[in-house]
Amino acid sequence: MTYTLTYFPIRGRAEHARLLLEDNKIPYNSQVVQFGDEWNSFKKKGLESGELPFGQVPVLHDDKLHLAQSGAIARYLARKHNKYGADDVEKALNDMMFDMGIDIQNMYVKFIFDENHKQKKEEFVKDVKGKFDLVEKFMKRQGKPYLASSEPTFADYLMFEVLDVIKRQKDDILKDFSHLESFYNKMKSRPNIVAYRESDRFFEKPVPVEDS
Ligand SMILES: N[C@@H](CCC(=O)N[C@@H](CS)C(=O)NCC(=O)O)C(=O)O
């Protein structure tokens, strides 16, 4: 059964799952729902049928399973396709790094949806660099090619996405973080990720905000 991933025509909270699927050439259908009236009626029907359990997206459909919550989706795909880490310790560390990625993503979401975000950019950059510094030190201690593993896991797809979106605000933001920067470049140059990001399946916009 081919997966269907339902989301808006943005990267948002679905992109790390798309990256995992694309990088590993796992077949999936992308169901794109437009904002506005289309979403409102889709949401109503989805809540009634159970296909949108919480009336929000992303949702991953796998036969009779309708899975909401981007973290649950990432972990489900990671378990099914062996992208969770090599052993229990790696799995735990990937859980930790995924949740760190979500913390950073939430900082970005809070910043970008603030209508005065242009004036708050310097503060955001300073705060987010504080988090990058912690991730950098973790990577240095670990000494692994990816965050906690020798092959990309669900945590790596999320962290890459978060870094890529934040770089759009300040392109040289990784210059003082050599481990993070080389991780970012490694992820970005993976052939299937390059091909995906050049395809018409890729949405450039992280969120529906003009300068996102
Ligand atoms: N914790 C959820 C958050 C899901 C969420 O906030 N979805 C938003 C888009 S990113 C949504 O569906 N908004 C439309 C609505 O609530 O009507 C996750 O990580 O998936």
Domain ranges of the chain: 3-81, 88-190
Do residues 30 and 10 lie in contact, with contact meaning Cβ atoms separated by under 8 Å?
Answer: no
Tell me the CA–centroid distance for residue 102 and ligand 1, in Å. 13
Please answer whether residues 55 and 47 qualify as being in contact, where contact means their C-beta atoms are separated by less than 8 angstroms.
yes
pLDDT surpassing 90 at residue 1: no
- Give the confidence band of 63 by pLDDT, cuts at 50, 70, 90: very high
Give the whole-number percent of the chain exceeding pLDDT 70.
100
Q: Would the pLDDT of 47 be above 90?
A: yes
Ligand 1 within 6 A of CB of 56 = yes
Q: Which of 7, 13, 32 to mutate to test the pocket of ligand 1 (most atoms within 8 A of CB)?
A: 13
The CATH-assigned architecture of domain 88-190 is Up-down Bundle (1.20)
Q: How many Cα neighbours within 13 Å face the side chain of 211? A: 11
Does ligand 1 come within 6 angstroms of the Cβ of 33? Answer: no
Q: Is the pLDDT of residue 152 over 90?
A: yes
Whole-number Cα distances in Å, 133 to 64, 128, 139, 164, 195: 42, 9, 10, 16, 30
**Mean pLDDT, the chain, integer:** 97
C-beta of 152 in contact with ligand 1 (< 6 A)? no
Predicted pLDDT of residue 68: 98
Q: What is the pLDDT of residues 102-139, one digit of tens each?
A: 999 999 999 999 999 999 999 999 999 999 999 999 99
Overall average pLDDT of the 25-36 stretch: 98
- Is 105 near ligand 1, meaning CB less than 6 Å away? no
Strand partners of residue 4: 29, 61
Q: Which residue has the tokens 């808006």?
A: 8
Within 13 A of 151's CA, how many CA atoms are on the CB side? 12
> 3-81 — its CATH code?
3.40.30.10
Q: Is the CB of 43 under 6 A from ligand 1?
A: yes
Q: Which of 6, 15, 38, 57 to mutate to test the pocket of ligand 1 (most atoms within 8 A of CB)?
A: 57
Q: Which helix (H) or strand (E) holds 204?
A: none
Alpha helices per DSSP H over the chain: 15-23, 37-49, 70-80, 88-112, 121-142, 154-167, 178-188, 191-198
